Amino acid sequence: MPIYRLDDNSFAFPPAEEATEDNDWILAVGGDYHPQRLIAAYAQGIFPWPFQEGMPITWFSPDPRFVLKAEDLHIPKSLLRTLKKDLFEYRVNTAFEEVMRACASIPRPNQPGTWITNDLIKGYCELNRLGFAHSFEAWQEGKLVGGFYGVAIGNCFFGESMFARVPDASKCTFATFARHLFDNGLPWIDCQTYTDHLARFGAKEIPRANYLKMLKEALNRS
């Protein structure tokens, strides 16, 4: 299958199923971070993952997909003990851009730099302003010490990135808000691609075809 070049004058995407392993699951390149384009992408099982600042945006649809279902959520006993200590104050959307920039600044194994570019930050800050992107934050003594952000469309949440400046800050934040989201009817969290960190919470790889079916069903119920 080819890698498509997006039309700058359209927010349309090719079918997510056309991304192949031969192309490293890249479906398309080009476009921008216009809110309508981002929403259209997520609603079709596609997400941006740019290589670096100044290069065309790359859009992915991997197979398998990494998903945390409500019924699979697992919080390790050691983390439950940490949560009981009430080490953090939890907030939502009080420092969205700061959370994104913190995620960009944290060194990642086997990654020479960050994929969270300045243009991407601007695009997601606009999504946040419009109510489609959210930050979940851990504060300690008045300082932002951990958190994560993602995109919400209808009854779907697509996790993007997380960070921690003190031990367990991101884990506690994720556990706290994952429970809250699931308790309020969210069926699953899209974690995109496998990480050991989220596997410990119960996230599992599922075939892309299953994910796209789940996505369509969840959006139709919204």
Q: Which residue segment(s) compose the domain that 194 sits in?
A: 66-221
| pLDDT for the residue numbered 46 | 98
Domain-terminating residue out of 62, 89, 112: 62
Same domain, 53 and 78: no
Asked whether residue 112 carries a pLDDT value surpassing 50, the answer given is: no
Residues 115 and 214 in one domain: yes
Residues 109, 58 share a domain: no
Asked if residue 175 and residue 158 are part of one domain, the reply reads: yes
**Residues 53 and 88 reside in one and the same domain:** no
Report percent pLDDT > 90 for the chain.
89
**What pLDDT is recorded for position 109?**
54
Give the Cα separation of 13 and 157 in Å (integer).
20
pLDDT digits (tens, 9 = 90+) for 183-216: 999 999 999 999 999 999 999 999 999 999 999 9
Going by C-alpha positions, the residue among 176, 189, 185 that lies closest to residue 136 is 176
* Best CA proximity match to 51, nearest among 29, 77, 22, 20: 29
Same domain, 100 and 54: no
- Asked if residue 74 has pLDDT above 90, the reply is yes
Q: Residue 170 is which amino acid?
A: S
Q: How confident is the model at residue 63 (pLDDT cuts 50, 70, 90)?
A: very high
- Domain with 128 in it: what CATH number? 3.40.630.70
Assign 106 a pLDDT band (cuts: 50, 70, 90): confident
- Res. 1 pLDDT band, cuts 50 70 90: confident
**CATH classification of the domain holding 52:** 3.30.70.3550
- Scanning the structure block, which residue is given the tokens 């992915």? 60
pLDDT above 50: residue 113: no
Name the domain count of the chain: 2
Pair 46, 61: CB distance under 8 Å: yes
Within this chain, do residues 172 and 94 fall inside the same structural domain, yes or no? yes
User: Is residue 13 domain-shared with residue 72, that is, in the same domain?
Assistant: no
The pLDDT-based confidence of 221 (bands split at 50, 70, 90) is confident
| Overall average pLDDT of the 83-99 stretch | 98
Q: What is the DSSP string of 123-156?
A: HHHHHHHTTSEEEEEEEETTEEEEEEEEEEETTE
pLDDT value at 22 more than 70: yes
